């Protein structure tokens, strides 16, 4: 198996593992434990292990800073080992119904969750975005990443009732992702000389996606450990003075747009409801992100097209939320649900593809930017849980308003930022010397 396989497969398995243990396993509590008080305690522990490090300790942002300074490969390996330790505690705790082992395991899972998402994205962007600021190779790789990662999460859908299979499948994801991450190499295999020659060994579909075009050079050196003289803030301060604050604001607004959706969804997953609806919704969204992300990877994208697509998809999602709250026929509600999940899939892929533009292709700061994105999503998850516990009982109009308001505000800010960028780029530059009298 060639070097290219390890890179995409490792990131896909790592991302799938991180999501899996905070979705399927939460349902296992409800099926495996009979004591309602024990179930409530376990769900609260998992919730705290998710919110405390990722929201209140700013772990995604701090982890992003670490990624930018010491490289992403050591972080990925550390995170996968943390999941292995957590699983080593969780599996016997689950089999023998030992609550304390499950509590300890949830801490390892919670501290690694969003930092895992940050690290996998940064590794792929550093490896496949060219120094000529081209996304032609990163775009199809991102599509493959979405397809593999989310389809892995759809496999447990085949099992209606909770069984040993789901627990075994989670352990399988974890062991494979851990093994693959230790095969990651910073430099392309010298046997090939370039990534172009390496892509010739890929299956026909991947070769078609990458088109076997040469890469003049990528930012792959940022995946390895940096020298001490590179650990300074000069470059970061220059990035901020050069308009980098706008980039972080864009990422923050995009985090709010996606985060409120994922936040409400994850808070439903972590609820103690025995109804299968939240799991069903999660599975549909996983499938939507997998298929739509892969399809969109075949299209030609540019900065303006990505921005317009994000705005239109968000407006469509807002419209779906409004329609879902109205008294419409059941068939129409099903149609709204389908369109809503399509827009989620579109936004997830296009937002991920847009990050390099927001960061001005300064990949040395990519960890910080993606860390902010996942911190915003963690915050939205916390707020979504609070919504479900405190105002879910209110009328649907009030509930929809609370959900829609941050999305609308974030979308307005994002539109203002991109409009300002376009206005700046359209200003004429005079090359003529001033006339003096």
* The Cα angle at residue 361 between residues 343 and 209, in degrees rounded to 5: 60
Question: Mean of the per-residue pLDDT values for the chain?
Answer: 75
Domain count, the chain: 1
DSSP code per residue over 203-228: -HHHHHHHTT---S-BSGGGGSPPPG
- If one counts every other C-beta atom within 10 angstroms of the C-beta of residue 108, the result is 22
Residue 223 has pLDDT above 70, yes or no: yes
DSSP single-letter state for residue 130: B
Residue 245 has pLDDT above 80, yes or no: yes
- Nearest CA to 294 among 86, 117, 83, 146? 146
- Write down the pLDDT at residue 426: 56
Average pLDDT score over residue span 123-148: 87
Whether 320 is covered by a domain: the verdict is yes
SS3 67: helix
Q: Where are the alpha helices (DSSP H) in 57-203?
A: 59-70, 72-95, 99-128, 138-154, 164-181, 195-199
Whether 435 is covered by a domain: the verdict is no
pLDDT tens digits, residue range 37-54?
A: 666 676 677 777 777 888
More confident call, 58 vs 150: 58
- What pLDDT band is residue 140 in, cutting at 50, 70 and 90? confident
270 vs 290: CA distance, rounded Å? 23
Whether 138 is covered by a domain: the verdict is yes
CATH code for the domain in which residue 413 is found: 1.20.1250.20
Whether 436 is covered by a domain: the verdict is no
pLDDT tens digits, residue range 293-308?
A: 999 999 989 999 999 9
Structural domain range at position 146: 3-424
Whether 437 is covered by a domain: the verdict is no
Percent of the chain at pLDDT exceeding 70: 69
Whether 431 is covered by a domain: the verdict is no
Residues 6 or more apart whose CB falls under 8 angstroms from that of 344 comprise 261, 285, 288, 289, 317
Contact status, residue 354 vs residue 235, Cβ threshold 8 Å: no
Whether 148 is covered by a domain: the verdict is yes
210 vs 23: CA distance, rounded Å? 33
- What pLDDT band is residue 151 in, cutting at 50, 70 and 90? confident
Helix, strand, coil: what percent of the chain each, to 5?
75, 0, 20
Q: What are phi and psi of 218, to 5 degrees?
A: -120, 180
Whether 433 is covered by a domain: the verdict is no
- What pLDDT band is residue 127 in, cutting at 50, 70 and 90? confident
């Amino acid at each position: 198996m060639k070097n290219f396989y390890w890179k995409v497969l490792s990131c896909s398995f790592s991302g799938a593992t991180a999501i899996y243990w905070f979705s399927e396993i939460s349902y296992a509590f409800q099926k495996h434990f009979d004591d309602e008080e024990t179930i409530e305690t376990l769900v609260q522990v998992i919730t705290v292990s998710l919110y405390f490090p990722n929201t209140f300790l700013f772990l995604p942002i701090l982890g992003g800073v670490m990624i930018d300074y010491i490289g992403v490969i050591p972080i990925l390996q550390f995170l996968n080992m943390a999941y292995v330790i957590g699983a080593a505690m969780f599996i016997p705790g689950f089999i023998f119904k030992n609550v304390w082992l499950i509590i300890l395991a949830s801490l390892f899972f919670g501290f690694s969750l969003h930092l895992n998402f940050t690290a996998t994205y940064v590794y792929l962007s550093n490896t496949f975005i060219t120094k000529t600021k081209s996304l032609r190779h990163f775009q199809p790789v991102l599509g493959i990443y979405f397809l593999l990662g989310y389809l892995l999460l759809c496999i447990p859908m085949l099992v209606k009732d909770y069984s040993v299979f789901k627990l075994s499948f989670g352990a399988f994801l974890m062991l494979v992702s851990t093994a693959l991450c230790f095969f990651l190499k910073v430099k392309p295999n010298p046997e090939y000389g370039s990534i172009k020659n390496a892509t010739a060994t890929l299956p026909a579909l991947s070769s078609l996606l990458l088109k076997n075009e040469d890469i003049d050079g990528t930012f792959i050196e940022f995946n390895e450990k940096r020298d001490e003289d590179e650990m300074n803030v000069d470059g970061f301060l220059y990035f901020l003075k050069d308009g980098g604050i706008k980039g972080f604001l864009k990422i923050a607004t995009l985090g709010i747009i996606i985060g409120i959706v994922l936040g409400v969804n994850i808070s439903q997953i972590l609820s103690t409801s025995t109804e299968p609806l939240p799991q069903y919704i999660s599975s549909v969204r996983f499938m939507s992100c997998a298929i739509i992300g892969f399809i969109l990877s075949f299209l030609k994208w540019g900065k303006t097209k990505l921005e317009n697509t994000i705005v239109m998809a968000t407006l469509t999602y807002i419209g779906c939320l409004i329609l879902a709250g109205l008294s419409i026929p059941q068939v129409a509600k099903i149609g709204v649900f389908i369109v809503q999940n399509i827009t989620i899939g579109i936004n997830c892929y296009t937002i991920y593809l847009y990050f390099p533009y927001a960061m001005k292709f300064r990949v040395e700061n990519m960890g910080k930017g993606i860390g902010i994105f996942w911190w915003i999503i963690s915050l939205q998850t916390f707020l979504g849980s609070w919504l479900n516990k405190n105002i879910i009982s209110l009328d649907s109009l009030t509930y929809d308003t609370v959900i829609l308001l941050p999305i609308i505000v974030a979308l307005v800010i994002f539109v203002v930022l991109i409009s300002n960028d376009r206005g700046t780029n359209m200003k004429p530059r005079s090359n003529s010397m001033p006339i003096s009298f």
